[in-house]
Amino acid sequence: MKTITLTINGEHVSCTEGSSLLEAAQGHGIKIPTLCHHHSLKPVGACRMCLVEDEKTGRIIASCVTPAAQKMSVLTESPRVLKHRRNIVRLMMAEHPESCIICSKGNRCSLRQYAAELGIGETGLYPIPNYRNIEQANPFIQRDLTKCILCGKCIRADHELVVTGAIDYNMRGFDSRPSTLFDRPLEKSTCTFCGTCLSICPTGALSPVSIFVGTPEKEKLSFCGFCGVGCRLSLGISDNQVVEVNPAHIKKSVNDAALCVRGHFGHDFLNVKQRMTKPMIKKDGSLSSVSWAEAIELVADRLTQIKDKHGPDSIAFLGSSKCANEENYLFQKLARIGFKTNNIDNGGYISGRLMLDLIDTRTDPGRRFNFFAGTLSGLEMAEVIFIAGADPSHSIPVAGYYLKRSVKNGTPVIVADPRKTEMAGLASVWLRLKPGSDLELINALSALIYRKNVYADSFIKRFTRGFEKYSESLSSYDLDRAARITGISIQEMERAADLLVGKKIAFMVGDGIIKNRYGMETGEAFLNLALMTGSIGYGGAGFHFPAKENNQVGAWDMGTVPDKLPGRQPLNDSLSRTSWEKLWGGEIPHEVGLDLCGMIEAAEQAKLKALYIMGENPLRSLPDRQRVLNALEKIDFIVVQDILNNETSKLADAVLPGAAFCEKKGTFTNMEGRLRSVSAVVEPPGDAKSDFEIIGLVAEKCGHTSLKCSVESIREELSKRIPMYEKGRSNFHPVWIKEAIDSDPAEEDDRERLISFSQVVTADEEEADKEYLFTAIIGSKRCHLGSGTRTGYSPRIKAFNFSDAIEISEQDSKDFGISDGNKVRLVSRNGAIEREVCVKKNIGRGMVFVPAAFNGNDAGLLIRLTKLFDSTSEGWNCCPVKLEKI
């Protein structure tokens, strides 16, 4: 790119061609005041604060919208500029109400800051504030548009970053204000309460509704503790409490200025009274507070006793997809070395670990470090996007913004979903398939692409094997049968295939696949499709799996799983096992341990005597609560180490209060594979300790003193032993493919790295259920994460009263005489729930949508607990139900 040199305030500066004067100045540390400018929004030049004087022409120009030109010479603080700038601020102040004294924006208000800097105490103008009603009916965003200066940042953030379009300018001139459609209150508009607008507002026009009033004492950077996107946050802290959450506005970070309703307002759970603050042990049937020493001693004694009496495999460890990498690493080390068992899993089992595992094992046979699709920003340069069984706008909203921006930029998007999700509404092709028929759809698309003869031939030759056999089965594939099973016409599938042909695909594969029956088979089918189109190893192509938990990927990487060691190294590989044994100075058992479902089954059979749970709430998050409860009650000794009192902790024999993400040191790995390092910005409440410290104390008491160590030493160990956690390593792409593409011709050792196609597996054709006429689809809403333990405790999320209503189609509502607000009983073969009904246009006949996480996650009652990815599993995502009006 060409470099331009110019003069600003007599100083020679250079910038790249196309930069604005403002950017050129900022790049050299020259400050120019701005109100309507934000680095991630398109400049509009609305506020005129950034005026500068062109020395040659004497013109006064807005620097944010004026491109820097060669040999230009500008002054940013000339008397003329200052005179104009003062007048602009004077006019704004004259229209502004005199409520600064009680405004929570306080010293963070840009208008107030510039007025102070320019020395404007009295405007000398007749004040004409444009008084408006303050809108504060919702528990999240307070709008006092009297203070609005019409910079349009909220509108542009809404349109350009979040792509929701809830607000826009309304009216003209003095009456002009940002407004929702028909000027309705926010809760009656399309607003998702992501709060992006209130964090970007330069004045107090938009502010959070909060019990905290004023400016936090300090602001500290951290990462969001909810989903796997891992947004950068700026936490406002007062009196050792997180009182305000804002996006960190860091350029090129995953979220920059955006956030979602959970991230912005859901962190209230950090300060609720249900936080665990003291260790407790069960005495005479109820939990009572004890000292740390007593609790640790009990835990260590009982675990050791049980191990000695019933053998190591009578104990299981449940790690956490919400705890840090170092903690998970230490936890599995405690299980494997301290207690000689591989009975270790984490909550990621519920949210898609098996799919990650499948794709990893199949594409990465030689233990090379990779990630499947690279960064989320790659979605914005994808050739085509295929979203299947995922509703990212709700499950991982900030990743959803990337998708919506891609659509806006014209990227073709295909959505396969039984429901018309937000993305389906925006998609080029929406494949409205029958629930659970994804396997046939993917096979059919592959067959269509194969028959069009436009697959990635050179990619297939170079990086894969088994294509001949696979293609044979594709050529004989019965498309009519697929059309019958999926309910999608061949023409419609052709339309989708035409969009995919000759392009590298970015996949977003969600719960509808991961947690459904035929999960593994569908995963294989997706991989076949990806290999055939050469969609792996390039930026903007490959697999994205919406990670529901902030450290779902990290917990898996750390070996908090029954069949893998840290670094995703297979347990049954003796080479990797011995290398870890050498490092840890102890033997690792050979047999693959119990996964989360296996633990419940083992408990039912009274084979499991002790369970150590760290940061998980299986009683709420697993389906079939009664069965899980019965199983857990059979366990002799349960340790729950958590931050909140929850369903599972009530059953515990010992409760150890842990620390939340912002109360401890550690690293998290987001769904892109980016490592995020956090430090303690507040102290854990009461006597609570970081989970790392607690595991160390338990290990030490059990006689494994080597496990009592510092977070730094573990981090060092990780970076030395796990290639993808090497310092400075970016582990975004399947490195070998990328390297091989870069270094033509093919290397010799590529041969053994080849990824093999798997055979086409077809689903059975089924007859319609005569008794259970509806299919219930269970899915998330953006206000709650996972099973909603944390978000369910957040006062503001609770206060909003998000609807938990079961959604049914218009036709069904007519046929069954059910209307909005009626109460119904939803009965499956496994259980029943009662809720209100809401009639929706986005759902088809014969389907009902049940939002998860509400009412103690009662949606799980409908589902039978089966092992995911097992060929006999019915899946956890949908089930046949009947509807009874009550």
Partner 1 sequence: MKPAEIDKEKLLSIIEAYRNKKWGLIPLLQAIQEEFGYVPPVAVESVADAMKMYPSHVQGVITFYAGFSTEPKGRCVLKVCRGTACHVKGGKSILRMIQKDLGLKEGETSIDYQFTLETAACLGACFVAPAMMVNRDYFGKLSPPKVTSVLEQYRKDKGDN
Binding site for partner 1 (CB under 8 A): 159, 164-172, 179-182, 189-190
Shortest Cβ distance from residue 167 to partner 1 (Å)? 6
Task: Indicate the pairing of strand 542-544 with strand 218-223.
Answer: unpaired
Shortest Cβ distance from residue 658 to partner 1 (Å)? 44
Shortest Cβ distance from residue 838 to partner 1 (Å)? 19
Q: What 3-state DSSP class applies to 434?
A: coil
The pair of structure tokens assigned to 700 is 């030490």
Distance CA 587, CA 582 (A): 8
Q: Is the peptide bond between 566 and the residue preceding it cis, with omega within 30 degrees of 0?
A: no
Q: Is 743 left (phi over 0), alpha (psi -120 to 50) or beta?
A: beta
Shortest Cβ distance from residue 426 to partner 1 (Å)? 10
The pair of structure tokens assigned to 313 is 């495999």
Shortest Cβ distance from residue 813 to partner 1 (Å)? 21
Distance CA 840, CA 834 (A): 18
Between 170 and 215, name the residue whose CB sits nearer to partner 1.
170
Shortest Cβ distance from residue 497 to partner 1 (Å)? 24
Between 141 and 296, name the residue whose CB sits nearer to partner 1.
141
Between 184 and 885, name the residue whose CB sits nearer to partner 1.
184
The pair of structure tokens assigned to 42 is 């398109």
Distance CA 726, CA 659 (A): 26
Distance CA 60, CA 66 (A): 11
Q: What are phi and psi of 274, to 5 degrees?
A: -80, 0
Closest CA to 335 of 518, 558, 554: 558
Between 180 and 363, name the residue whose CB sits nearer to partner 1.
180
Which residue blocks in 729-805 are alpha helix, DSSP H? 735-742, 750-753, 795-800
Shortest Cβ distance from residue 403 to partner 1 (Å)? 16
Q: 15 and 68 in contact (C-beta within 8 Å)? A: yes
The DSSP 8-state label assigned to residue 663 in this structure reads G
The pair of structure tokens assigned to 100 is 């600064």
Shortest Cβ distance from residue 50 to partner 1 (Å)? 25
How many CB atoms sit inside 10 A of residue 714's CB?
A: 22
Distance CA 520, CA 361 (A): 12
Counted residue by residue, the chain has a size of 886
Between 181 and 583, name the residue whose CB sits nearer to partner 1.
181
Q: 396 and 229 in contact (C-beta within 8 Å)? A: yes
Between 159 and 548, name the residue whose CB sits nearer to partner 1.
159
Shortest Cβ distance from residue 425 to partner 1 (Å)? 10
Between 190 and 730, name the residue whose CB sits nearer to partner 1.
190
Which residue blocks in 167-291 are alpha helix, DSSP H? 196-200, 261-265
Distance CA 89, CA 122 (A): 11
Closest CA to 82 of 49, 108, 109, 106: 49
Q: 470 and 460 in contact (C-beta within 8 Å)? A: no
Sheet holding 218-223, edge to edge: 218-223, 232-238, 241-247
Between 160 and 769, name the residue whose CB sits nearer to partner 1.
160
Shortest Cβ distance from residue 188 to partner 1 (Å)? 13
Shortest Cβ distance from residue 259 to partner 1 (Å)? 20
Cα→Cα distances 712→325, 559, 666, 719, Å: 12, 19, 9, 11
Q: What are phi and psi of 824, to 5 degrees?
A: -130, 160
The pair of structure tokens assigned to 532 is 């055939």
Between 179 and 758, name the residue whose CB sits nearer to partner 1.
179
Amino acid at 256: D
Shortest Cβ distance from residue 428 to partner 1 (Å)? 12
The single residue listed with the structure tokens 């030759």 is 461
Shortest Cβ distance from residue 176 to partner 1 (Å)? 8
| DSSP states of 100-155 | GGG-TTGGG-HHHHHHHHTT-S---S-------PEE--SSSEEEEGGG-----HHH
Shortest Cβ distance from residue 418 to partner 1 (Å)? 22
Q: What 3-state DSSP class applies to 154?
A: helix
Between 170 and 210, name the residue whose CB sits nearer to partner 1.
170
Between 190 and 305, name the residue whose CB sits nearer to partner 1.
190
Q: How many helices (H) and strands (E) does the chain have?
A: 30, 37
Distance CA 294, CA 408 (A): 59
Shortest Cβ distance from residue 148 to partner 1 (Å)? 15
Distance CA 658, CA 324 (A): 12
Between 413 and 697, name the residue whose CB sits nearer to partner 1.
413
Between 168 and 219, name the residue whose CB sits nearer to partner 1.
168
Between 180 and 464, name the residue whose CB sits nearer to partner 1.
180
Shortest Cβ distance from residue 404 to partner 1 (Å)? 12
Between 69 and 171, name the residue whose CB sits nearer to partner 1.
171
Between 149 and 682, name the residue whose CB sits nearer to partner 1.
149
Shortest Cβ distance from residue 262 to partner 1 (Å)? 24
Which distant-in-sequence residues (6+ apart) come within 8 Å of 410 by Cβ?
none
Task: Indicate the pairing of strand 654-657 with strand 280-283.
Answer: antiparallel
Shortest Cβ distance from residue 416 to partner 1 (Å)? 22
Between 27 and 165, name the residue whose CB sits nearer to partner 1.
165
The DSSP 8-state label assigned to residue 159 in this structure reads I
Q: What 3-state DSSP class applies to 135?
A: strand
Q: 547 and 670 in contact (C-beta within 8 Å)? A: yes
Between 158 and 440, name the residue whose CB sits nearer to partner 1.
158
